[in-house]
C-alpha cells in the first residue's frame, strides 16, 4: 500500500454522533419523566445517577434497570408505555446541546464532513430534539429506535447510515459517551471517540476500547484535523 492509498483510507469523511450524553444533555427530562411514571405505579423513585446509568441501551433496558427486581414482565411493559407517553410530552423541556457541540458540528460541516445521529432513543424524540437544537446542521441521517432495526451495539443501524453517506467504514468515526457506543463502532468496523462530558466515565470508555478520548468537543475537531493532514 503506497502512502496516497493509506491517506485516503484513513481520512475522516464522516462522523456519526450518539445523542444522549454526547450531543445533548437530556438527563433532567429523562429523570423527571421516569420518576413520574414510577410514582404512578407506587414504585420508589430513582436518583438522577441511577437514571444516568440506565440510559443508553433503549427503553426496555432502562425500565429493567430502574424498576424493582421483582417486577414482572407485564408490569414493566406498562411502566415503559406510561413513561414513553410522559416523556413524549416533556422531552423538549430542558434538553440542550453540551457546551461547544454546536460550534463543533458547524465547523465539521464547513470542512465537508458528513454528519449523522444514531441513538437508541425513540426516533420521534431524536428527530424532534435535533430539529429544535440544530436547525442549521444538515445531517445525512437522524436515526433513533425504529421498528425492524436492532438496537446498538448491533451494527445494523450504523451500517445503514454508512450506506446513506456513501462512505466506507474506514472513513467514518463513531462518537459517543458510553461503552455501548464504543462497542457499536467496533461491531461496525469504525474508529471511535469516547466523550468524557456524558453519562459514563473514562474508565468505562477505555475498557470498552475507545480509540480516542475527548475531554472537550474542541478536541474532536483537533482529532479530525490531525487525521486528515
Residue environment code for 107-138, b if the CB has 16+ CB neighbours within 10 A, otherwise e:
bbbeeebbbbbbbbbbeebbbbbbeebbeeee
Each residue's pLDDT tens digit, 146-172 = 999 999 999 999 999 999 999 999 999
pLDDT above 50 for 39: yes
Q: Which positions ≥6 away from 7 have C-beta within 8 Å?
A: none
Q: Helix %, strand %, coil % for the chain, to 5?
A: 50, 15, 35
DSSP, collapsed to helix, strand or coil, labels residue 214 as strand
From the CA atom positions of the chain, what is the Rg in Å? Answer: 18
Q: Where residue 227 falls among pLDDT bands split at 50, 70, 90?
A: very high
The sheet carrying 172-176 orders its strands as 141-145, 114-122, 14-17, 172-176, 191-195, 212-214
Per DSSP bridges, beta strands 191-195 and 212-214 are parallel
**What is the set of domains in the chain, with CATH numbers?**
3-25+95-227 (3.40.50.1000), 27-90 (1.10.150.240)
DSSP annotation string for 116-173: EEEEEEEHHHHHHHHHHH-TT---SEEEEE-TTSPPTTSSHHHHHHHHHHT--GGGEE
Each residue's pLDDT tens digit, 108-143 = 999 999 999 999 999 999 999 999 999 999 999 999
Distance of CA 127 to the CA centre of its chain: 13
Higher pLDDT, 5 or 185: 185
The conformation of residue 210, written as its DSSP 8-state character, comes to -
Distances (CA, A) of 41 to 31, 68, 213: 16, 11, 40
- The C-alpha cell 468515526 sits at 173
Amino acid at each position: 500500500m503506497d502512502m496516497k492509498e493509506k491517506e485516503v483510507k484513513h481520512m475522516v469523511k464522516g462522523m456519526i454522533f450518539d445523542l444522549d450524553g454526547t450531543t445533548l444533555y437530556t438527563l433532567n427530562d429523562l429523570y423527571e419523566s421516569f420518576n413520574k411514571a414510577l410514582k404512578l405505579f407506587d414504585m420508589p423513585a430513582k436518583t438522577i445517577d441511577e437514571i444516568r446509568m440506565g440510559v443508553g441501551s433503549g427503553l426496555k433496558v432502562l425500565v429493567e434497570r430502574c424498576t424493582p427486581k421483582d417486577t414482572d414482565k407485564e408490569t414493566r411493559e406498562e411502566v415503559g408505555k406510561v413513561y414513553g407517553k410522559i416523556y413524549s410530552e416533556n422531552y423538549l423541556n430542558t434538553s440542550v446541546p453540551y457546551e461547544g457541540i454546536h460550534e463543533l458540528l458547524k465547523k465539521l460541516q464547513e470542512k465537508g464532513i458528513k454528519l449523522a445521529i444514531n441513538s437508541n432513543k425513540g426516533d420521534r424524540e431524536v428527530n424532534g430534539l435535533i430539529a429544535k437544537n440544530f436547525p442549521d446542521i444538515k445531517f445525512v441521517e437522524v436515526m433513533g429506535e425504529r421498528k425492524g432495526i436492532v438496537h446498538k451495539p448491533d451494527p445494523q443501524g450504523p451500517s445503514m447510515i454508512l450506506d446513506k453517506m456513501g462512505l466506507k467504514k474506514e472513513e467514518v468515526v463513531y462518537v459517543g459517551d458510553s461503552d455501548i457506543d464504543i462497542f457499536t463502532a467496533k461491531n461496525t468496523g469504525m474508529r471511535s471517540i469516547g466523550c468524557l462530558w456524558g453519562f459514563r466515565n473514562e474508565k468505562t470508555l477505555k475498557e470498552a476500547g475507545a480509540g480516542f478520548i475527548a475531554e472537550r468537543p474542541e478536541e474532536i475537531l483537533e482529532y479530525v484535523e490531525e487525521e486528515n493532514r
